[in-house]
Structure 1
Amino acid sequence: MSKILVIAEHLGGKLNSSTARAVSAAAAIKGDAIDVLVLSDAPDAIAAEAAKIEGVSRVLTVTKPENAHPLAAVLAPQIAKAADGYSYVFAPSTTFGKDIAPRVAALLGVAQVSDVMTVEAAHTFKRPIYAGNAIITVEADANHTVVATIRTASWSAAASGANAAPVEALTIDVPLPTHTRFVKLNQGSSDRPDLQSAAKVVSGGRGVGSTENFDIIYKFADKIGAAVGASRAAVDAGYCPNEMQVGQTGKIIAPELYMAIGISGAIQHLTGIKDAGTIVAINKDGEAPIFEVADFGLVGDLFKIIPELEVALG
């Protein structure tokens, strides 16, 4: 019997959409059951959201005061214990999943499969390597539990609302480490759409020129109801905070529309947007690499083109 355990990502009492994307990957395994594990100090509301995801068989909850904050050192021993009897343990390939999955794999004594893009067979997966320049096919040992992170940009979120999976409480008795403790969470806040789940994203690069000039990116994004991103060069130059960074060392995203403004298109940036639906590039350098992947390209001064686009949009 092939069962898959998906680790729920959540924050502030709300389920992250990355969980539904991991469920989509789990469904591709065509196993016997997909269970979602919620670890929290108050999991009820989160579990109720998870229970609505199509394809989920059960939602399992572990309630402990220590689970109030997602500390990998604390959660991993509980996940490893809960994974007993499961053939697969999936987590989204986000900061949360990349932190937890390696610890779970180590505790289970198995090798981790990272950034699963497609499921080719029960134990065969495709994942990117060399900053997305190549795709490798990997085969996991069928005799051991497969611990994998799911590249969320490569999977659409499983539908939600029609399902009503049962919610069951688990009692897990494992010693929890005390050498790691939560101090505080420093998190950027914005009224704009979330960068990783937005349907439209407008990103600025080094070509924007300065922090003050980056206002043109914010205003245009607001005009079309888009999230705002940035290249690493723009972040390193101090034009915007690092939580806005898109690319190999930033956020991997797959919006329906991605607009790269003043971004040359280094391979590390292209890795983060390769799954976008439509890519629009605006750059004064007609030889910029970004134009090789763009569906639409405009060569010219962004400070002239953007105002013209705003006028055209009305």
Structure 2
Amino acid sequence: MSKVLVIAEHLDGKLNASATAKTVAAAQALSPQSIDVAVFAADPAGAATEAATIAGVSKVRAVANPANAQALAQVLGPQIAKLAAGYSHVFAPSTTFGKDLLPVVAALLGVNQISDLMTVESSHVFKRPIYAGNAIVTVEAPADQPVVATVRTASWQEAARGGSATVETTSVDAELPTHTRFIGLAAGSTDRPDLQSAKRVVSGGRGVGSEENFKIVFDFADKIGAAVGASRAAVDAGYVPNELQVGQTGKIIAPELYIAIGISGAIQHLTGIKDAGTIVAINKDPDSAMFEIADIGLVGDLFKVLPELEAQLKD
């Protein structure tokens, strides 16, 4: 019977609830005996309490250690490898956090990692995307080894809330490295929703024309309470910083509503939004590839169309 350990992602004491709940949902697909969530922090109380409300979680294991003040893979990895004893599966979200952390855990456990798990076929058989999402491969992990996998959060719905799991203080005796230390964290600040967890996203592409012109995208996103994204072409042109990039080499997202403004629709970009609910494309080029996958398409000049849409919103 499967026993799953989910590694919670959090920052500044606040749980990344969406990513963690989607990872729990993937764990639930195994129909396991139990799902435990592990929170590693200097003070894990806040994030652990949040994690305990996710339905399907058996218990939350709170590991307090001053060394865990920052999510360093080289520091967390040895602790997770120790804690994983007795678990058949170790899951984490396929975010920057999980992609950095789980290869370390897999190496310490001496197993191969499965990346971007999107479908559970059985306890050791899964599906994951390859070739920028153009193909789906079925992989089988050895039955006599623990499964270490990152979960493609865009492919899963969040597990429900309303759970009441117990929070258990856990001590992990692991030798931590001394060659890795935290220097600093540089992160952009914004009042807009987080791009990877937002229900609505408005993205701009090369067609926006300039960094100055991108203000029209930001303004429209603010009108509808959406996060802002961008194509790689817009990022490479210097219109917006790279943390807004959506696509194969950027963020993989699955909002309920995705509005693509002035984006041609390169396959690398489409890979990042393939799981979105409703896709709206606005482009003056009627032959844009974005129209081929859009649920709603509007051919027109974005600098005329967006003000008209904003006027309708005001009404």
TM exceeding 0.5: yes
1:199 partner amino acid: K
Residue 273 of structure 1 pairs with residue 277 of structure 2: no
The 8 Å contact of residues 2 and 123 in structure 2, kept in 1 or not, is answered as no
Aligned Cα root-mean-square deviation (Å):
0.9
Structure 2 letter corresponding to 1:190: T
Question: Match for residue 98 of structure 2?
Answer: 97
Q: Distance in 1 between matches of 2:290 and 2:142?
A: 39
1:141 has 2:142 as partner: yes
* Pairing 1:23-34 to 2, within 5 Å after superposition: 23-34=24-35
Q: What does residue 15 of structure 1 align with?
A: 15
Task: Report the CA distance between 1:220 and its aligned residue.
Answer: 0.7
Instruction: List per-residue Cα deviations over 1:43-76 (Å, max 9, x = no partner).
Output: 0111111111100001111111100000000000
Query: Gaps (5+ residues) in structure 2?
Result: none
Cα deviation for residue 249 of structure 1 reads: 1.2
Deviation, 1:288, is 1.4
Matched residue, 2:301: 301
Structure 2 CA distance for aligned equivalents of residues 255 and 184 of structure 1: 31
Q: Deviations over 1:200-250 (max 9, x none)?
A: 110000110001000100111111111111011111111111111111111
**How big is each residue's C-alpha offset from its partner over 1:184-212, in whole Å with a ceiling of 9 and x where there is no partner?**
11111111111111111100001100010
SS in 2 for 1:132: coil
Return the alpha-carbon distance in structure 2 between the equivalents of residues 44 and 220 of structure 1. 38
Tell me, in whole angstroms, the C-alpha distance in 2 between the residues paired with 1:293 and 1:132.
Answer: 14
How far apart are 1:298 and its partner, in Å? Answer: 1.2
- Pair 1:81 & 2:82 matched: yes
> What SS does the corresponding residue of 1:34 show, helix, strand or coil?
strand
Secondary structure, in 3 states, of the residue corresponding to 1:135? strand
Aligned-partner SS, 1:259:
strand
2:171 maps to amino acid = T
Deviation, 1:276, is 0.3
Match for residue 73 of structure 2? 72
Q: Once the 2 structures are TM-superposed, how far is the Cα of residue 312 of structure 1 from its aligned partner?
A: 2.1
Alpha-carbon offset, residue 148 of structure 1: 0.3
Give matches, 1:1-314, under 5 Å.
Answer: 1-16=1-16, 17-160=18-161, 162-314=162-314
The CA deviation string for residues 132-166 of structure 1, in whole angstroms up to 9 with x for no partner, is: 11111111111100000000111111111x21111
Secondary structure (helix, strand or coil) at the match of 2:82 reads helix
Distance 2:279 2:231 in 1: 15
Give the structure-2-normalised TM-score.
Answer: 0.98
The CA deviation string for residues 13-40 of structure 1, in whole angstroms up to 9 with x for no partner, is 0000201110000000001000001100
Percent same amino acid at aligned positions?
Answer: 71
Shift of 1:88: 0.1
SS at match of 2:217: helix
One-letter code of the match for 2:126? F
Count the aligned residue pairs: 313
- Which runs of no fewer than 5 residues in structure 1 stay unpaired? none
